[in-house]
């Protein structure tokens, strides 16, 4: 009979054995004979004209492969959205660390060292380093006006609503850049040549992004380019679009030399030169009525995109759509823009604009609550969106969301009310002040609007003669559990054991394009396609009369054998179709922005040592409704990891900028939490199955990034009375604020 | 990193061999646990040249208890410090400092001599050594000399080590502890573990009645070297711990530290925290 | 590299007598990986992340900070030596079952740090575990499943 259903069980990680024994192969673990090591010579200044490139005669350059922009066979621009970012600077540089020259040598140390012997002479041009500078347009550093993209969302009549409002509350909130700090740095191995084409292996989230990029770089047809994902040591968005750059670099060196080339970034280089989370500034103006209900929200949202466009328009989009949060408000305006500065381009990082706008919103909601004389939770309760309400972009919520119940659960689990009372009593006499704060929010799963339709993802499932099944997708395992979750989904659909399902290594020569591994879409969107393709395999066997509706594993194997012998390959492909009833207008930016949302309420308890202004998170509760939990251990791991990154972003992770360069590009100086810095993170799931997700699942990967920072800041405000509005809240900044508030 | 053939690493078997190496090749540098130098190697900033590994020299190891006090071999690791009974009972600030330095892996290899020689103003152990009135036994092929640790650091990354010299042992004078003695060590870092300090405070105090009989205060990360806060000590010596005395001590402390703004913190923060730690040390529960 | 600069260092790796060849100041991390033991990872090269952790004479060290010359005559245990033949060590099995590994890059170093802890302390408290793992950075898990894995390993080892 059927094995027990795999969905809902904590099936152990499929590649867990390989990972705990050190057998899992990451790109730097592969050492092909004759491989050359690549290194990148980068711009020392933020902006300027390249006047000369000089090679120190003390180095034996004949031992090296040297590549510049002149060596690019095809188009010297990374294919993404605006194709404005060159692989190698030519003529001008627009940010510190911009790649200019590539070197390769059989000895890695010599390749690294040779970088210091190439001098790039640059005539500096005035550079722009802040959002404000960019907006003044005193210096235009991109396009005509320094604006990569802007959006304007409008619901109701905001200006009229402000006119008659009982109370108006304003606030300005800023967030800093954040480095993804995957513990495995970016790395690629390339083999390339006019005869063979280009093949790269490496650390990545999106094989098909690289595939398309390399085809453009080398002016090759797509079938002459092959991209293979190796075990990838963390991504978090930092390996969404950036890998196209390093893959292109390794391939250019391989193309020129005829030898395999491996390029592995050093940690400092990776931190300084690759993408980070977009810094942001949000202005809120909020009107409420005498009952504390939201009447109007006017939101101005700006993100700093760095020197080139990369994914800024999409980050801006998501930030814009999430800017008004899980609240019902009849009049909302969001004006948003992504601006150019001369920093290394910012890019994808878990949450992708939503953590920035939700930080501002959830901090502001506490300030509004306070002005209205309501507690943070009561104010939110009066304003939560309910089924039938519309969000700011005009999306009517049909799913049975119950934010009030989620909030209640979070408050109960965290002992919120009792603690708030106790802290209020005990803080006045105490050097260490304690506080508790909350944040309520949602996160849309899948690509925005018509994005999934444009991706047109597909998945194939193949049954072999021996009854084992292969799942072919381009979704990558980067630690989040793709392989395991897909096995569970496929095995349940087929009524077999997860051990009989093999999720094939993503290789563009083998797997179809299922879209990128981003946007919390892998389980929900691609997993659903896996489910459909697996069901199609089952139905093919049943329709061929080889399998009854209810069958054993042995019968399944026998059916596969007979099918393959009689008909050949048993392979079914599923292709994305949007759920019925979703409507989105790309031009007006109105409609059903996401198929569904994860909904959450987080509570943070903090202690603030008033001698050192250090903030510690003492306890953390994360409650979320995520559809169906496919694998509790993996899902819990996602929330815990996301919360940890959120805590890091809120309190510790400060990117120190000097003239557009990250000055603290070392793990010693860029501070992520250690095991000693994090509390117990208590995770609770509510399950309300989402009909269009596999087994009812929604996407969850990014949701946990949105809540921790505002919850922590709200807790600090509760502990100290100080309303910090700038992230990260380092002890130095808290000290400044606390001393200012005493003065 | 730079190509490794620009380095030489020799591995003498005894201290005298090591000293001969240092004498014979001026400019050669000792290598102990490697927790500082190997970071520079990877970063490409380790100067090319000859390095003398000291790890094979047994004379530089061991924690010896004598009638005068305790002497630690320069190669004593942080883990060895943490496990030492005599240090736990009589020199607890060294235990605290060793526990705060890196994680287990760093503590297994990092050495107290290497830490002192590396001369980072943010190092965790120097303030404790200053507060314990440590002295250093320096050796070269010419002989041995003793230097009070308080005179060893001459300026930012400048020590009193002469060419051919290395730190052989660290001497701690015997302590006369009573119930009225208190040791206080606190490091304020960028996070709870694996952190470089923003302010590091080490203080010992002994009261007689309500008066300060004996006080030593030392700080790290607030000056180009670790500092003994002698003016703050003088403001406290012989006095009761009244609000006025505390205020005077604080004012004195501020006058003898010179914190800076850097990528980790600010001068103002360091100053404020140093003063707060002073008050915490002195038992001010305001 | 000139032959004169190369040394041959004799040590035991995972119980087997091995000769590692390289420059004496070469990082043990690189010497191990060039010898085919690629389970030990480089995450930072600064001794901050612990991904390069190995045991030398039973003590946890960051192999990115250890010169090859220092391993002469010593016993090294890498991640490849933790399991016995085909049987996972209790720590490894617990990591698989309790979700202690996500992307897996910190896992070898983390397993060795846990292995090191349990060899010294068979009944660690939560605080003991946090302190023992403080030198191992993980960006995926928030450490929670790792703590759970270590506790489970203790439980299975009969405590």
CB pairs under 8 A between A and B: 66
Can you give the pLDDT at residue C5?
Answer: 86
- From B264's Cα to the closest Cα of chain A, the distance in A is 7
Residues of chain A predicted below pLDDT 50 = 1
Q: Please give the full DSSP string across A86-124, using - where no structure is assigned.
A: -SS--SEE-STT-EEEEEEESSHHHHHHHGGGEEEEEEE
A202 and chain C in contact, CB less than 8 A: no
Contact A411, A417 (CB under 8 A): yes
Which among C24, C66, C135 is the nearest to B103, CB-wise?
C135
C150 and chain A in contact, CB less than 8 A: no
Contact C103, A478 (CB under 8 A): yes
A231 and chain C in contact, CB less than 8 A: yes
- From A572's Cα to the closest Cα of chain B, the distance in A is 50
Contact A312, A303 (CB under 8 A): yes
The CATH number assigned to the domain with range A450-575 reads 3.30.365.10
Q: Which chains touch A (3 or more CB pairs under 8 A)?
A: B, C
Contact C39 A232 (CB under 8 A): no
Q: Which fold has domain A280-392+401-448+588-742?
A: Aldehyde Oxidoreductase; domain 4 (3.30.365)
3-state secondary structure of B140: strand
pLDDT digits (tens, 9 = 90+) for C93-122: 999 999 999 999 999 999 999 999 999 999
Contact B273 A110 (CB under 8 A): no
A701 and chain C in contact, CB less than 8 A: no
Domain spans of chain B, in order of start: 4-53, 59-173, 181-281
Cβ-Cβ contacts under 8 Å, A678 against chain C: 142-144
Which among A23, A637, A674 is the nearest to C102, CB-wise?
A637
Neighbours of A194 (CB within 10 A): 11
Q: Please give the full DSSP string across A378-399, using - where no structure is assigned.
A: HHHHTTB--TT-B-TTS-B--S
Structure tokens, A682: 């208590």
CA distance B273 to A530: 57
Q: Please give the full DSSP string across A194-215, using - where no structure is assigned.
A: TTTEEEEEES-S-HHHHHHHHH
Can you give the pLDDT at residue A743?
Answer: 67
CA distance A725 to A48: 35
Contact B191, B207 (CB under 8 A): no
Can you give the pLDDT at residue A1?
Answer: 37
In chain A, CATH 3.30.365.10 covers: 280-392+401-448+588-742, 450-575
Candidates 3.40.630.30, 3.90.1580.10, 1.10.150.120, 3.40.50.2300; CATH matching C90-156: 1.10.150.120
The model's pTM: 0.98
Cβ-Cβ contacts under 8 Å, B190 against chain C: none
pLDDT digits (tens, 9 = 90+) for A518-563: 999 999 999 999 999 999 999 999 999 999 999 999 999 999 999 9
Between positions 19 and 58 of C, the ones with CB within 8 A of A are 33-34, 37-46, 48-49, 51
Cβ-Cβ contacts under 8 Å, C87 against chain A: none
Residues of chain B predicted below pLDDT 70 = 284-286
- From A633's Cα to the closest Cα of chain C, the distance in A is 6
The one-character DSSP state at A641 is H
Q: Which fold has domain B181-281?
A: Enolase-like; domain 1 (3.30.390)
Contact B4 A664 (CB under 8 A): no
Can you give the pLDDT at residue B179?
Answer: 87
CA atoms within 13 A on the CB side of C86: 0
Which class does domain A35-125+186-264 fall in? alpha beta
Domain spans of chain C, in order of start: 3-81, 90-156
Contact C67 B34 (CB under 8 A): yes
CB pairs under 8 A between B and C: 97
Cβ-Cβ contacts under 8 Å, C27 against chain B: 38, 41-42
- Which residue from C minimizes the CA distance to A30? C38
- Which residue from A minimizes the CA distance to B265? A732
B35 and chain C in contact, CB less than 8 A: yes
Which class does domain B59-173 fall in? alpha beta
- Which residue from A minimizes the CA distance to C92? A20
B48 and chain C in contact, CB less than 8 A: no
CA distance B237 to C84: 63
Which among A110, A616, A656 is the nearest to B3, CB-wise?
A110
β-pairing, B135-140 vs B63-65, is: unpaired
- Which residue from B minimizes the CA distance to C128? B104
CATH superfamily of the C3-81 domain? Beta-grasp domain (3.10.20.30)
- From A559's Cα to the closest Cα of chain C, the distance in A is 33
Q: Which fold has domain B4-53?
A: 3.30.43
- Considering only CA atoms, which of A647, A578, A288 is closest in space to residue A439? A647
Can you give the pLDDT at residue A493?
Answer: 96
In chain A, CATH 3.90.1170.50 covers: 35-125+186-264
Can you give the pLDDT at residue C85?
Answer: 80
End-to-end CA distance of chain C: 52
Distance of CA A196 to the CA centre of its chain: 34
């Amino acid at each position: 009979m059927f094995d027990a259903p795999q969905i809902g069980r904590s099936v152990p990680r499929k590649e867990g054995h390989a990972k705990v024994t050190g057998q899992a192969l990451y790109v730097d673990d592969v050492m092909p004979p004759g491989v050359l090591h690549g290194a990148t010579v980068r711009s020392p200044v933020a902006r300027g004209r390249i006047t000369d490139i000089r090679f120190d005669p003390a180095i034996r350059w004949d031992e090296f492969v040297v590549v510049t922009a002149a060596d690019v066979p095809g188009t010297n621009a990374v294919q993404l959205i605006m194709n404005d970012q060159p692989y190698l600077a030519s003529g001008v540089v627009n940010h510190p660390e911009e790649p200019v020259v590539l070197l390769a040598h059989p000895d890695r140390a010599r390749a690294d060292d040779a970088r210091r012997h190439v001098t790039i002479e640059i005539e500096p041009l005035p550079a722009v380093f802040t959002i404000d500078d960019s907006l003044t347009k005193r210096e235009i550093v991109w396009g005509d006006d320094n604006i990569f993209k802007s959006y304007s969302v409008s619901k109701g009549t905001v200006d009229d609503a402000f006119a008659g409002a009982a109370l108006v509350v304003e606030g300005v909130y800023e967030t800093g850049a954040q480095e993804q700090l995957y513990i495995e740095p970016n790395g690629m191995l390339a083999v390339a040549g006019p005869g063979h084409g280009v093949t790269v292996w490496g650390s990545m989230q999106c094989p098909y992004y690289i595939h398309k990029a390399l085809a453009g770089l080398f002016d090759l047809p797509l079938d002459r380019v092959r991209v293979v994902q190796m075990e990838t040591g963390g991504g978090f968005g930092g390996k969404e679009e950036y890998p196209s750059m390093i893959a292109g670099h390794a391939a250019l060196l391989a193309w020129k030399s005829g030898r395999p080339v491996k390029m592995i970034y050093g940690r400092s280089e990776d931190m300084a030169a690759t993408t980070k989370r977009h810094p942001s500034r949000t202005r809120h103006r909020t009107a409420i009525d005498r009952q504390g209900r939201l009447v109007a929200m006017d939101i101005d949202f700006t993100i700093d995109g760095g020197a080139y466009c990369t994914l800024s328009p999409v980050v801006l989009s998501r930030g814009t759509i999430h800017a008004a949060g899980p609240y019902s408000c009849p009049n909302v305006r969001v004006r948003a823009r992504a601006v150019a500065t001369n920093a290394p381009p910012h890019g994808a990082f878990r949450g992708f604009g939503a953590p920035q706008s939700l930080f501002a919103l959830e901090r502001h909601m506490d300030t509004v609550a306070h002005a209205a004389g309501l507690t943070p939770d009561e104010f939110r309760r009066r304003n939560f969106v309910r089924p039938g309400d519309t969000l700011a972009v005009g999306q009517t919520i049909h799913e049975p969301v119950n934010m009030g119940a989620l909030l209640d659960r979070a408050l109960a689990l965290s002992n919120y009310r009792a603690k708030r009372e106790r802290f209020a009593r005990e803080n006045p006499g105490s050097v260490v002040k304690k506080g508790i704060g909350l944040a309520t929010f949602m996160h849309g799963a899948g690509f925005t609007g018509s994005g999934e339709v444009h991706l047109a993802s597909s998945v194939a499932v193949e049954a072999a003669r021996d009854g084992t099944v292969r799942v072919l997708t381009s979704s990558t395992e980067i630690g989040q559990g793709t392989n395991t979750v897909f096995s569970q989904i496929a095995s349940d659909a087929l009524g077999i054991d997860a051990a009989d399902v093999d999720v094939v290594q993503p290789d563009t020569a083998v797997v179809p394009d299922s879209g990128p591994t981003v946007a919390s879409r892998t389980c929900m969107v691609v997993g659903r396609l896996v489910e459909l393709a697996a069901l199609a395999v089952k139905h093919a066997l049943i329709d061929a009369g080889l399998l009854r509706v209810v069958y054993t594993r042995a019968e399944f194997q026998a059916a596969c054998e007979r099918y393959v012998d009689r008909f050949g390959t048993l392979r079914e492909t599923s292709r994305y179709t949007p759920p019925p009833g979703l409507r989105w207008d790309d031009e007006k930016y109105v409609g059903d922005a996401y198929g569904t949302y994860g909904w959450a309420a987080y509570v943070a308890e903090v202690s603030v040592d008033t001698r050192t202004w250090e903030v510690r998170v003492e306890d953390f509760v994360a409650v979320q409704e995520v559809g169906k939990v496919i694998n509790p251990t993996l899902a819990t791991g996602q929330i815990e990891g996301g919360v940890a990154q959120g805590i890091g972003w809120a309190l510790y992770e400060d990117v120190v900028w000097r003239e557009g360069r990250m000055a603290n590009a070392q793990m010693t100086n860029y501070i992520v939490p250690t095991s000693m810095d994090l509390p117990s993170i208590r995770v609770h799931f509510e399950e309300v199955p989402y009909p269009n997700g596999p087994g009812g699942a929604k996407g969850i990967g990014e949701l946990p990034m949105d809540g921790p920072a505002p919850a922590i800041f709200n807790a600090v405000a509760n502990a100290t009375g100080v309303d910090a509005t700038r992230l990260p809240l380092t002890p130095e900044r808290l000290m400044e604020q606390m001393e200012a508030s005493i003065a | 990193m730079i190509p490794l053939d620009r380095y030489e690493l020799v591995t003498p078997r005894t201290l005298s061999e090591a000293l001969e190496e240092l004498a014979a090749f001026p400019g050669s540098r000792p290598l102990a646990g490697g927790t500082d130098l190997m970071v520079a190697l990877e970063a490409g900033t380790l100067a090319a040249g000859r390095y003398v590994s000291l790890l094979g020299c047994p004379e530089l190891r061991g924690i010896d208890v004598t009638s005068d006090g305790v002497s630690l071999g320069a190669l004593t690791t942080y883990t060895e410090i943490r496990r030492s009974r005599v240090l736990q009972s009589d020199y607890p600030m060294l235990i605290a400092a060793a526990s705060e330095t890196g994680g287990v892996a760093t503590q297994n290899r990092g050495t107290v001599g290497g830490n002192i020689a590396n001369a980072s103003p943010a190092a965790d152990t120097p303030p404790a050594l200053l507060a314990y009135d440590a002295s250093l036994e320096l050796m070269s092929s010419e002989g041995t000399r003793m230097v009070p640790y308080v005179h060893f650091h001459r300026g930012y990354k400048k020590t009193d080590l002469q060419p051919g010299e290395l730190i052989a042992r660290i001497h701690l004078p015997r302590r006369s502890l009573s119930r009225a003695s208190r040791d206080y060590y606190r490091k304020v870092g960028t996070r709870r573990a694996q952190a470089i300090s923003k302010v590091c405070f080490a203080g010992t105090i002994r009261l007689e009645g309500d008066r300060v009989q004996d006080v030593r205060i030392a700080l790290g990360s607030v000056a180009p070297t670790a500092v003994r806060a002698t003016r703050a000590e003088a403001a406290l010596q012989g006095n009761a711990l009244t609000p006025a005395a505390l205020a005077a001590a604080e004012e004195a402390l501020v006058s003898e530290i010179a914190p800076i703004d850097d990528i980790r913190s600010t001068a103002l923060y360091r100053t404020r925290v140093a003063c707060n730690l002073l008050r915490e040390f002195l038992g001010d529960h305001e | 590299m000139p032959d004169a600069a190369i040394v041959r260092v004799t040590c035991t790796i995972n119980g087997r007598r091995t000769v590692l060849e390289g420059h004496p100041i070469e990082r043990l991390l690189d010497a191990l990986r060039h010898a085919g033991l690629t389970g030990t990872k480089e995450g930072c090269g600064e001794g901050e992340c612990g991904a390069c952790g190995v045991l030398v004479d039973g003590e946890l060290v960051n192999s990115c900070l250890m010169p090859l010359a220092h391993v002469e005559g010593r016993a090294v245990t890498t991640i490849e030596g933790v399991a016995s033949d085909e049987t996972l060590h209790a720590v490894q099995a617990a990591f698989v079952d309790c979700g202690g590994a996500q992307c897996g890059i910190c896992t070898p170093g983390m397993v060795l740090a846990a292995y090191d802890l349990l060899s010294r302390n068979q009944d660690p408290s939560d605080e003991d575990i946090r302190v023992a793992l403080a030198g191992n950075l993980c960006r995926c898990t928030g450490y929670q499943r790792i703590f759970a894995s270590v506790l489970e390993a203790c439980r299975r080892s009969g405590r």
